[in-house]
Structure 1
Amino acid sequence: MPALDIPYTEMYVVDRHKTVEYFTGSFGFEETAFSESPHVQSSLLRQGAVHLVVSSGPATESFLDEHGDGIADIALACDDVHGTAAAAVAAGGRVLPSDQGSVRVSGFGDVRHTLVPSGPEGFASVPADRTWTPARPGSTPSAGPAPVLSLDHIAVCLNAGSLHETVQYYIDGFGCERFYSEYVEVGAQAMDSIVVRSPSGGMTFTIIEPDAKRSPGQIDAFLQRNSGSGVQHLAFLVDDIVAAVREFRSRGIEFLRTPGPYYDMLADRIPSMTDQISDLSDTNVLADCDEWGYLLQLFSRSPHERNTLFYELIQRHGAQGFGSANIRALYEAVERERVDSE
């Protein structure tokens, strides 16, 4: 009774209209439906196979007070909702209160999972516990061809010491398979990561914890801003990252900048990328490779007040990894830039 896919993710935000404008006006999503009640107001955004629910209102305030803007619910499509819920409870999870027949179970931190039935006609891409009204066609700006294809993975940061227990919960409770693991050292900092994936390949979590024996780093900083475990970023799969970055950048998306020495070192790291270095440097896109191929990726700056959640663009050319070598390469590039400036 494994979970198969992620039909939608629900984000709680302080300012729903501002967040919807960010995704529609800059990232090219379309608002396809909305729901309004005294307790929660929600917008359904879609691009490619990605469905985002953006919600605010009294029902979201407790989460927002604790964590700020962030992912509160990751829906999981299942062949047997009640069987999956029972497996999650047996694995140490909890069934959570829900409305109108929805089944919800605990995930990590304060992030929950709504279990959605999957069948011959697919699964619902909106929460079933509220009434939805289709948005008027053309009510959000036209973004042209949609660069975002699907949700490649969800990156999760956990409090130190909880990684292996959480991974086992997703294996036993949701039928995930352990796909990849790596211990990453960056200077005096270090982190441990394990990737779990559904047997269908439609659901991938990159789960990370900091090494508490090493110096605090970016994972510790996220955990402090987020007041504990949570979703660090959503990774959107694209088929032409250079074109997508240029388009999104022209619409106001701010991406992280990459130090120049990174590209000086890239030809040595991945000789096959030499012809692409100019375009990658112009767009600050990062490159990594593994035994299956290579990938290109870039991260946005967080548009949220507490600098919690951010977004990744990723283009795959056979690679099945997640760009961990870029963490080291960026550290080395920054250090090289520092030394050269002295």
Structure 2
Amino acid sequence: MTADREESAMTVQDIAYTELYTDDHAGAVDQFSSALGFLPVAESRDDTSTSTLLRQGDVKIVVTSGDAVAPFVDRHGAGIADIALSCDDVTATYTAALAAGATVAPKRFGVPAMAGFGEVVHSLVPTTATAPDARPAGRRWIALPPDAPGTEGPARLLDHVAICLPGGTLDEYADRYTATLGLTRYSSAYVAVGEQGMDSIVVRSGSGRVIFTLVAPDPAKQPGQLDRFLERNVGPGVQHLAFLVDDIITAVGDYGQRGVEFLTTPASYYDALADRLPAKAGHVDRLRGAQVLADIDEWGYLLQRFTRSPYERNTLFFELIQRQGSRGFGSANIRALYEAVERDRLTTP
């Protein structure tokens, strides 16, 4: 095996699925299916847990509840507990990750796993696990009828995962993902809003299909929304999942009709948008009507909209994202998102 092939065998290729732990199984499945447009495709039950596998486009989400996951839910509330990563060679990737300093996580259903951040783990699975009809290994899945309630939404794939970390730890985690899973640093940004501030580093796989946006509050600034997330989540966690769509304005309308609640954007944002992005001047009214954010990088345009968290602790939320050539993450919109979440925090009881 050549050096290039050895390196490829020991790096991750894709996000096979994310797994949400919850104490309200029916409510979470209903939220994903009726509001977010995921189709329930299979169910697994054992003595300690119940899991439902849902799919939309190439995105797979597993909702799990029961005694096995109760300690996680008690500490953190409903949230993503596993970001499963596919590899060309699971054994080689796992062995290399441990040799580079990764921490072993307890296996569930016989699947090797490594610690990620907080209590979130990364199960390592073969690339065949990303096939449309593939189901997470080690569980007794029973197919749900094709006429199960729900219609599929417009999301095509999981664009990226945003991870909230304690202040001052971004470099540590970015270096850890670089060393253990072969991700590389892609970009970084700093946002200051009043007396608050946040840092971000984006790490991604060579395939471009595993992208983590690492965010953390600036410990030298006043506490803000990221500090509140860390308090409510009792440590690091997944802040949001970003779903790629082809037509975000149509998608926002679709999700809105399904009952999804979005964060709002101030009118001043759109008043300045035509000057900031002259090529989008003729589209400002449509973007304003759908409350969609727009940004540009050297490759093209990026359109985004963020939901409110549907969960009791107001932690995990979701993003819709449309890329018109852009490969970035909306550096100008990081500020708009921060301000929108901050307004929501200050106005929500």
**Is TM > 0.5 for Structure 1 vs Structure 2?**
yes
Superposed, 1:2-151 pairs within 5 Å as 2-118=11-127, 122=131, 125-143=134-152, 146-151=153-158
Are residue 304 (structure 1) and residue 323 (structure 2) matched?
no
In the alignment, residue 24 of structure 2 is paired with which amino acid? D
Query: Offset of 1:122 from its aligned partner?
Result: 4.9
In the alignment, residue 281 of structure 1 is paired with which amino acid? R
Change (3 A) 1:333 1:264: farther
Give deviations 1:146-198, integer Å, cap 9, x for gaps: 41000000000101122111111111111111111112222221111111111
Name stretches of at least 5 consecutive residues in structure 1 with no aligned partner. 336-342
What's the counterpart of residue 7 of structure 2?
none
Q: Separation in 1 of the partners of 2:110 and 2:334?
A: 44
Name stretches of at least 5 consecutive residues in structure 2 with no aligned partner. 1-9, 343-349
Contact 2:160 2:210 in 1 (8 A): yes
Q: Separation in 2 of the partners of 1:112 and 1:269?
A: 40
Give the ranges of 4+ consecutive aligned residues of structure 1 lying more than 4 Å apart after TM superposition.
119-125, 329-335
Are residue 229 (structure 1) and residue 236 (structure 2) matched?
yes
Q: Separation in 2 of the partners of 1:134 and 1:330?
A: 39
What's the counterpart of residue 197 of structure 2?
190
What's the counterpart of residue 339 of structure 1?
none
Q: Separation in 1 of the partners of 2:129 and 2:272?
A: 49
Query: Offset of 1:301 from its aligned partner?
Result: 0.5
**Helix, strand or coil for the counterpart of 1:54?**
strand
The answer to which of 209-218 and 299-308 deviates more is 209-218
What's the counterpart of residue 5 of structure 2?
none
Superposed, 1:252-291 pairs within 5 Å as 252-291=259-298
The answer to which of 325-334 and 188-197 deviates more is 325-334
Contact 2:20 2:61 in 1 (8 A): yes
Q: Separation in 1 of the partners of 2:197 and 2:229?
A: 14
1:247 pairs, out of 246, 254, 275, with 254
Q: Separation in 1 of the partners of 2:253 and 2:310?
A: 18
In the alignment, residue 49 of structure 1 is paired with which amino acid? D
**Helix, strand or coil for the counterpart of 1:205?**
strand
TM-score (norm 2): 0.91
Give deviations 1:31-80, integer Å, cap 9, x for gaps: 00001112110100000000000010001111111111100000010112
Q: Separation in 1 of the partners of 2:249 and 2:217?
A: 31
Q: Once superposed, what is the RMSD of the aligned Cα atoms?
A: 2.0
In the alignment, residue 43 of structure 1 is paired with which amino acid? T
Contact 1:116 1:124 in 2 (8 A): no
In the alignment, residue 184 of structure 2 is paired with which amino acid? E
**Helix, strand or coil for the counterpart of 1:7?**
strand
Change (3 A) 1:160 1:218: same
Q: Separation in 2 of the partners of 1:100 and 1:218?
A: 36
In the alignment, residue 45 of structure 1 is paired with which amino acid? L
Contact 2:248 2:304 in 1 (8 A): yes
What's the counterpart of residue 338 of structure 1?
none
Identity of aligned residues (%): 53
Change (3 A) 1:66 1:330: closer
Change (3 A) 1:118 1:327: closer
Query: Offset of 1:327 from its aligned partner?
Result: 3.6
**Helix, strand or coil for the counterpart of 1:34?**
strand
What's the counterpart of residue 188 of structure 2?
181
In the alignment, residue 195 of structure 2 is paired with which amino acid? A
Change (3 A) 1:241 1:117: same
Query: Offset of 1:315 from its aligned partner?
Result: 0.3
Change (3 A) 1:319 1:61: same
1:166 pairs, out of 163, 167, 173, with 173
Change (3 A) 1:188 1:288: same
Give deviations 1:72-100, integer Å, cap 9, x for gaps: 00001011212211222223222222144
TM-score (norm 1): 0.93
**Helix, strand or coil for the counterpart of 1:148?**
coil
In the alignment, residue 141 of structure 2 is paired with which amino acid? W
**Helix, strand or coil for the counterpart of 1:98?**
strand
In the alignment, residue 205 of structure 2 is paired with which amino acid? S
The answer to which of 9-18 and 126-135 deviates more is 126-135
**Helix, strand or coil for the counterpart of 1:263?**
helix
Q: Separation in 2 of the partners of 1:45 and 1:330?
A: 28
